[in-house]
């Protein structure tokens, strides 16, 4: 079985994408998944936000993280790119059109909904907790999608089908 490569993208790679990465890493086997994160406007080599690290510690998750800048090499490395906002997804597609087919917002990929995850940067611990609490169920659904019936590779290769309307009278 080959390792599946998941890349989370946010703006600065100090808050949302490292939290999503750490949450996913805490739930999957390292030999099955290589999970990374990057930022569209980050600078290379900075620590994650202390508040992000703290709210992860509250869940028993330790993270040593240094920011990295998203580029086409990292994009081509990934099987799927999961962004925190629709604007991030759009920017990835505009900068690297060849990556459009593997780029989704996290919400879109796991729920089919078009929603953004707000940036907690500069916010209080409660704001960071709210973002962590929003990410947790999304990451749980991501794990299910990637590991359902051992078909994680297939899950990476397709988008969720559009929800069918409920039939009545049955």
- Interhelix angle 125-147/50-57, rounded to 10 degrees, is 60
Is 15 an active-site residue?
no
Is 153 an active-site residue?
no
Q: Using CA atoms, how far apart are residues 137 and 115, in angstroms rounded to an integer?
A: 14
Which of these is catalytic: 4, 15, 16, 36?
16
Which of these is catalytic: 5, 116, 119, 141?
119
Nearest residue to 25 (alpha-carbon basis) of 2, 5, 45: 5
Which of these is catalytic: 10, 15, 79, 102?
10
The residue count of the chain comes to 170
User: Active-site residue numbers?
Assistant: 10, 16, 119
């Amino acid at each position: 079985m080959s390792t599946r490569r998941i890349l989370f993208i946010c703006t600065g790679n100090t808050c949302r994408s490292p939290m999503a990465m750490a949450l996913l890493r805490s739930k999957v086997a390292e030999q099955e998944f290589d999970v990374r994160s990057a930022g569209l406007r980050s600078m290379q080599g900075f620590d994650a936000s202390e508040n992000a690290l703290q709210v992860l510690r509250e869940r028993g998750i330790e993270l040593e993280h240094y920011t990295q800048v998203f580029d086409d090499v990292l994009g081509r490395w990934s099987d799927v790119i999961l962004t925190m906002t629709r604007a991030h997804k759009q920017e990835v597609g505009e900068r690297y059109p060849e990556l459009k087919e593997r780029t989704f917002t996290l919400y879109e990929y796991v729920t089919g909904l078009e929603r953004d995850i707000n940036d907690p940067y500069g916010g209080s611990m409660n704001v960071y907790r709210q973002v962590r609490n929003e990410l947790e169920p999304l990451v749980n659904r991501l794990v299910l999608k990637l590991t359902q019936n051992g078909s994680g590779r297939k899950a990476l290769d397709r988008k969720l089908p559009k929800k069918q309307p409920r039939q009545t009278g049955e």
